[in-house]
Each structure stands twice: as C-alpha cells, then as structure tokens.
A = this chain, B = another copy of it.
Amino acid sequence: MYPWQKNVRKVDPYVPGEQPKTLDVTKLNTNENPYPPAPGVAEALKTMDADLFRRYPDPDASILVDALAKTYHVKKEQVFVGVGSDDVIAMSFMTFFNSDQPVLFPDVTYAFYKVWAEMLQIPYETPALDENFRIRAEDYKKPNGGIIFPNPNAPTSIYEPLSFVEDIVKANPDSVVIVDEAYIDFGGTSALSLIDKYDNLLVVQTYSKSRSMAGMRIGFCIGNEALIAALNAVKNSYNSYTMSEAALTLGAAALADEAYFKETTGKIVRTREEAKKRLTELDFTFLPPMANFIFASHKTVAAKELFEALRAEGIFVRYFDKPRINNYLRITIGTPEQMEKLYTFLKKYVG
C-alpha cells in the first residue's frame, strides 16, 4: 500500500469479451461483424496522407458529422460523435444525469451502464425485466434522473417496437431518455423518426456492429440540437480532439455505400433466421432475436458447460455468470461457414 493510494478511485472494472491474438478461432463472442467494412474504407485508407497527421484533427469532426447528418436526414447540429458508442454514452451520463433522482435501466442489460453510474457516482435503479425478459414500460413511469435502455436489448436480443419506445419517451419530458441502438440495423426500426417530436430523446448508434468498424472506435448520437450542444460543451471540457484524422476520414467513407450496408446486414439477418431453425433442431430455446446475436439456452446441457466445451474446440461465444442469465450463451451471428462449424460441434456434443 502506497500512501497516495488512499485517494485512488475505487472501481469494479468491466471485463470485455476475450480478444484472442490468434486468428485460429471461430470468434462468435463480441458481436463483431463477420464481413469487412464497405470497400470505400479500404480505398480511403490507401489514399490517406500520413503528412496530415502532424496537424490536430478538426475538433468539430465536420467531415464525419456532415456525412452522418446527410445519411440520417438530420441537421449537423443534431449529431454528436465519439470514440465508440461507449464514449458517447459515458459522455451522455456525465452531461445529462446530474439529478438526485435515480437513473433507470433494466436489471439485465448492457453491463457498462452500471459501471458508468458507479464511476460517476450517479444514483441508479434497475427495474427487473419481466419473466420473458421484456422491459416493462410502467417501470419507467416514475420520478427519475434519466433513462437508458438498448433496443434491441443486450444480451437478450429482444426488440421493442417504436410505439413502446415512444410511450416511455413521452412519459418523461423532464428526463433525457437514451435509446442505445447498437443493434438496430439487424431488423429493427430506429427511434430516429421521433427526435423532432421529442426534445428529450437521444438515439445512440455505433460503427462497431452493422458498419464493421469496431476497430476504428466510432459511435454517434442524434437528437434535439440543445441535447447535442450540451454534449459538445462537456466533451470540449474533457478532450477537444477525441476523433483522430483516420477515424473522421474512414468513418465518412463507410457511409457512402448504402448498397453494401444493406447487403451485409441482410446477410447477417438471413444467417440469424437460419440459426434459429438450426438451434431449435438442436434443442435450444432462445429469446426472439433481432440483433446480430442469439441468446440461447439448451434444454438439458448447462450453458457454462457448453461455453467451455466450445472454447476447447476453438469456438468462442460469450457466457455471463450472472443472476437470471447464467444458463444462456450469447452467440454472435458469423458467416454461414462459421455457423456450420458451431452446429457441427453442437450436434456431436448435445445430439
């Protein structure tokens, strides 16, 4: 114990999914996209001028913000960007959740919400999902300091329709309601259509899943101009230059190819629908999935045992040893070839 350690912040850090350095695994554990980024990204990379790096990037991130505004048909003043959606959401907690009332998010959801609330000393409550792992809208209609939930939810993959989201946003004009749409592009309908109607709605999305760019660390959110101005003020008090020149340029390039985006997200959706059939044949049950993963439980074999057996075989999936969900595996949808490897092994193991 060093004397200065008495003033060190105590944290219970989030443990990210394993990132094996070898490529010799079937990696279905971190909800990455199995397809490469849009071809325009590789082209933009090839023509990038390293000499530009000597200058600070544009603190307004204009190239990227403008491209997002154009893609999502909003004003550039309605767009905020960050170092992955984790940065965008952490900054949003810091900006919007400064109340004595608790912030609300589900008991079973993205694990980082709790970590941020604790680190930033924000009071919070975690209303329980119902017995079918669905969010109960009535739990979000009481005094609160803010609301956040993913749609589709993680790690359940369950999607709620736009009317459900609107109901919660409408009931909370005094709070900022953050809808974390990391997985929205795999079949859901975004709440973006509601942002002009509700000044308290912030919609967060990411490049890490549907845009195949987890490695470049790009997230964004879209909402009322006053929300975005508040976020930018806090961000500029923390780090004026969060987005590198490379992230700005490649992030803008990724948006240009709408056809590729539709093609690859469509392939993942089709692979998921096939996976539902195949896993059912193998005696798995699962929550209705609308993300690029399935949250599945086997009728007889324990999830933890399956997780370890798969891992020994070089097939990585995610297992959370937590109340309510400790008999489920979160299986990322890979390529059809990767999924066949999974089915083949499971057939041998559980069949």
A295 to chain B, nearest CB (A): 20
Inside 8 A of A208's CB, which chain B residues have their CB? 56
Question: Quick check: B58 and A50 within 8 Å, CB to CB?
Answer: no
Question: Quick check: A36 and B50 within 8 Å, CB to CB?
Answer: yes
Q: Tell whether A19 pairs with B56 under 8 Å between CB atoms, given A4-B174, A95-B8.
A: yes
A251 to chain B, nearest CB (A): 10
Question: Quick check: B53 and A41 within 8 Å, CB to CB?
Answer: yes
Q: Tell whether A55 pairs with B245 under 8 Å between CB atoms, given A4-B200, A86-B240, A230-B8.
A: no
Q: Tell whether A7 pairs with B99 under 8 Å between CB atoms, given A83-B239, A242-B217.
A: yes
Inside 8 A of A36's CB, which chain B residues have their CB? 50-51, 53-54
- The A contact surface, by secondary structure, is loop
Question: Quick check: A53 and B30 within 8 Å, CB to CB?
Answer: no
Across the two chains, which residue of chain B brings its CB closest to A12? B237
Question: Quick check: A215 and B7 within 8 Å, CB to CB?
Answer: no
Question: Quick check: B237 and A119 within 8 Å, CB to CB?
Answer: yes
Q: Tell whether A8 pairs with B96 under 8 Å between CB atoms, given A14-B236, A53-B216.
A: yes
Q: What mask results when residues 229 to 252 of chain A are scored 1 for a CB within 8 Å of chain B, else 0?
A: 010111011111111111100100
A24 to chain B, nearest CB (A): 14
Within A189-232, which residues are at the interface with B (CB < 8 Å)? 199-200, 208, 212-217, 224, 226, 230, 232
Tell me the bound Cα distance from A98 to B8 in angstroms. 6
A37 to chain B, nearest CB (A): 5
Across the two chains, which residue of chain B brings its CB closest to A119? B237
A176 at the interface (CB under 8 A from B): yes
Q: Tell whether A57 pairs with B4 under 8 Å between CB atoms, given A237-B11, A239-B83.
A: no
Inside 8 A of A54's CB, which chain B residues have their CB? 32-37, 212-215
A5 at the interface (CB under 8 A from B): yes
Tell me the bound Cα distance from A5 to B193 in angstroms. 22
Q: What mask results when residues 36 to 61 of chain A are scored 1 for a CB within 8 Å of chain B, else 0?
A: 11000110011010111111111100
Among B48, B53, B98, B213, point to the contact of A9 (Cβ < 8 A): B98
A266 at the interface (CB under 8 A from B): no
Across the two chains, which residue of chain B brings its CB closest to A86? B239
Among B12, B83, B173, B216, point to the contact of A245 (Cβ < 8 A): B216
Among B59, B95, B173, point to the contact of A16 (Cβ < 8 A): B59
A265 to chain B, nearest CB (A): 13
Across the two chains, which residue of chain B brings its CB closest to A51? B36
The 9 A-B residue pairs with the shortest CB-CB distance, nearest first, are A215-B245, A42-B50, A53-B215, A13-B236, A54-B212, A36-B51, A11-B237, A246-B246, A86-B239
Q: Kindly list 4 other residue pairs between chains A and B, CB separation below 8 angstroms, not including A32-B56, A83-B239, A246-B247.
A: A9-B96, A9-B98, A36-B51, A118-B237
A sample of 8 cross-chain residue pairs with beta-carbon separation below 8 angstroms, ordered by A number, consists of A9-B98, A9-B234, A13-B233, A13-B236, A16-B241, A41-B53, A42-B50, A53-B216
